[in-house]
Every structure is written in C-alpha cells, then in structure tokens.
Amino acid sequence: MKRSNFILATVSGLAVVANPEHVFARALAQTPLPGLPGSERRCLVLINLFGGNDGLNCVVPHGDARYYQLRPGLAIAPGDVLAIDARTGLNPALRSLKTLYDKGTVAIVQGVGYPNPDHSHFRSTEIWQTAAPDRYEHTGWLGRYFDEGSFGRDEIFKGVALSRVLPEALVSDRTDIPAVAALGSYAMIADRNAAARDAFARQATDRSLPFASPYLAHVMEIEGDAQRSSEELPKLVAGYVTKASYPATALGRSLALAAQIVGSNLGTRAIYVEHGSFDTHVSQRTTQNRLLGEFSEAIGAFYADLAAHDDDRRVLTLTFSEFGRRIEENGNRGTDHGEASPLFMIGGGVKGGLYGTAPDLAATNMGNVRYTVDFRSVYATVLERWLGRPSATVLNGEFRRLPVLG
C-alpha cells in the first residue's frame, strides 16, 4: 500500500483565486476520472455518524505515547489496533473497512474540521450540513448543489434521504428531495378510497380556483411529487436483487436500500444515511465499538452488493460527524465534545490511503485536536471531482481540492 503524504494547508484550506495550485485544481476538476463512469452515473452516499464520533479511537494513533498517557482507561492497546503503519491504525471493530482499505478503496482524511469550532451538537451539525461555519444558512450544501444543477422535474429521485426527516444537508430552495425512512413508510397511508383520492387530486389541478396565491403552483407541484414519488419508488426498485448479506441493523437496512436505489438506475446523485449516536460521554468503548462494528459490517456488505452489480465504481461514500472528542478521557471512561476528527471516503473511484496530517496531541486547541483540513475542502473535492459541478457558489468560496479521487 502506497501511503500518500500529501499534506494540506494548515490554516483554513481557503485558496486564493490567483493561487496557481487552484488553477491546477480547476483544470483537474474538468478532466474526466479515467476508468470511471461519467458524473451523471455517479452517486454520493453521505453517512452522518451523528453524536460526535471519537476520532482517536476510530483512527488510532498507536505510535504516539501521548495517546496512551492521556487515555489510560480508554486507549486501544497496540496489539489490538488494525495497523496501517507504525503510527496509525484502525479500531479493531473496523475489520471489514480495513479489508477495503487494504484493497485501496478507502481514503482516510485526518484532522478535518473548521475555524472557531463550535462544541454544541446542534450548531456544529448545522455547520457541517449547511457548510457555513460563519453564518446561518437555511439551505444545505447538497440542497444548493441540486438547486444549481439543471435537473428535470421528472428526476424525482435525484436525491434521496434515508431518514424520517429531511436532513439540513438536503434542504434547498427549489428542489424537492424525498425523505424515505423505509420503502414501507414512504407512502400515503393506503386508504380505502385511493381511487377517489386520485381522481380528486387530478381535479384539484383545475386552474379555475376562486383565489390566487403565490404558493398555489408550488403546492400543486409538491402534492404531485409526493403522490408520484411515493407510488413509484417501490415499483421502480422492485426488480433489484440484493446480492450480499447485510447485517440486521438500521444501517444495514439503509445501505441495502441505497444499493437498491443505485442499482435501479433512477438517476440518483446523492443518498443520505444516518448512524449513531456516537455521543460517548460515559463508557465509550462499548458504545463506540458496537457502532463502528455496525458501520464496518454494513459498509462491507454494501460494497460487496455494489460490486456484484458492477456498481462499486459508481458510488462514493463519505462519512462525517459534527466533531471529534476531547483528547483526554473524562472520569466516566468516556470523552467530551472535541473538535477535528478523521473521515472516510470509500469506493471504487477512491485512491486509498491516509490524507491530511495525523493529529498532533502536543499542540492542541485547549485539549482538542486542531483541524488541518477544512471540511469544505472535502466537499469541494466531492462536488467538483465526483459530482462534476463547480463548488464555489455552493460553498460560498474556493477550497482546495484533495487528490483523493481518480
């Protein structure tokens, strides 16, 4: 395994327009990724590891003596770590992920965060979802991507959130993205009068209403979308045959559905999935290892399923968590809210390896890992290189791309 030593700017990841590297990155963005399907056939699967996943016990700095000093009760013993190199390794629960890493399809981006980190779950989640650390945005970064793209009205499954409530990342001004917790629940409750209801809905689009409203056209469109998408989704994915054994977990079910959606070729460009809660203030080891194990097993099955359908090069999976956790363990065998943490980019189009700089446990930000990669650099990479769209308007600025793809 060739280790990538690409080290990113340590300040903010913000690149100036005149920066020659930026010009290079722009040219890079416009070149197709060799050996991969065109961007219109590619899909991003975004997994929110919510609650604040502890980065140090996920991607373990087992070569750093400070790690063992600061975490006497929580550190993962050197012998248990799934070593990547003499300094870094993976939590033992990430066995399936390590297999994919060894195949070269997992990139680990270390030290990801943003300036002036916020320690509130709520606000920091919002910052990651809206990609706006310095202001309040009511739209999400993927919502803006959809708003700016030229998608047709009939592409109703261009984005799908596998959650009960539409996540902020997919909130947009002009694009309707369905939130589908499960195939069974994304449906108008079958009512005995479905036929009459449909006939009525048809008549309801009659324009001879005795009032005008600036929202009338919007309401009618969304009502149509809701009816159509909830009726069509189960039919459209019915022909797909799952070819892997998924774990019987919520994440396993979500990723099985994600593979089904990708494999059914609905033109889906982004799928959102949630997994957690990683908020491990108390007895961290049990909870985090279980959650990481569930994650790893589900990802293993997901890529096996995708590969069996020859879809593994079409799907990039990106994880994120609102923050990492405090370097030093607390008095309850847990850790408190922290700052920067690593994230994973997984898929057949990924150039595997370690990216960014390993956390420096000596030079901390009041006991937290300092960020060295702005998360918007990761988003810019995904937008430009994977989804094939300019990122500056979506992200409200230019951010340096990572050479993770193609």
Cα distances (angstroms) measured from residue 137 to each of 35, 132, 323:
37, 7, 19
Phi, psi torsion values for 354, nearest 5 degrees:
-95, 135
Q: Which is nearer to another protein, 21 or 173 (CB)?
A: 173
Cα distances (angstroms) measured from residue 147 to each of 135, 304, 388:
20, 33, 14
Which residues are within 8 A (CB) of 19 and not within 5 positions of it... i.e. 6 or more apart? Answer: none
Site for another protein in 352-391 (CB under 8 A): none
Phi, psi torsion values for 233, nearest 5 degrees:
-55, -50
Residue 353 in contact with residue 1, Cβ under 8 Å? yes
In 116-240, where does DSSP find H-type helix? Answer: 121-130, 141-148, 194-204, 216-236
Among 34, 35, 72, 214, the residue binding another protein under the rule CB under 8 A is: 214
Give all strands (DSSP E) within 78-157, no chain letters. 82-83, 89-90, 106-113
Q: Which is nearer to another protein, 164 or 290 (CB)?
A: 164
Q: Is 126 in the site for another protein (CB under 8 A)?
A: yes
Query: Judged by CB under 8 A, how many residues of this single chain contact another protein?
Result: 56
Among 203, 235, 331, 362, the residue binding another protein under the rule CB under 8 A is: 203
Q: Measured from the CB of residue 265, what is the shortest distance to another protein in angstroms?
A: 20
Among 34, 35, 152, 210, the residue binding another protein under the rule CB under 8 A is: 210
Which residues are within 8 A (CB) of 265 and not within 5 positions of it... i.e. 6 or more apart? Answer: none
Q: Measured from the CB of residue 167, what is the shortest distance to another protein in angstroms?
A: 11
DSSP state of 40: G
Q: Is 250 in the site for another protein (CB under 8 A)?
A: no
Spatial separation of the C-alpha atoms in residues 212 and 191, rounded to whole Å = 30
Q: Which is nearer to another protein, 166 or 358 (CB)?
A: 166
Beta bridge partners of 373: 112
Q: Is 116 in the site for another protein (CB under 8 A)?
A: no
Q: Measured from the CB of residue 165, what is the shortest distance to another protein in angstroms?
A: 6
Site for another protein in 134-193 (CB under 8 A): 136, 138, 153, 156, 161, 164-166, 168, 171, 173-174, 176-180, 186-189, 191-193
Q: Is 219 in the site for another protein (CB under 8 A)?
A: yes
The angle subtended at Cα 207 by Cα 206 and Cα 208, nearest 5°, is 95
Q: Is 206 in the site for another protein (CB under 8 A)?
A: yes
Candidates 41-49, 222-230, 332-340, 352-360; binding stretch for another protein (CB under 8 A): 222-230
Residues that bind another protein (CB under 8 A): 122-123, 126, 136, 138, 153, 156, 161, 164-166, 168, 171, 173-174, 176-180, 186-189, 191-193, 195-197, 199-201, 203-204, 206-220, 222-223, 225-226, 229-230
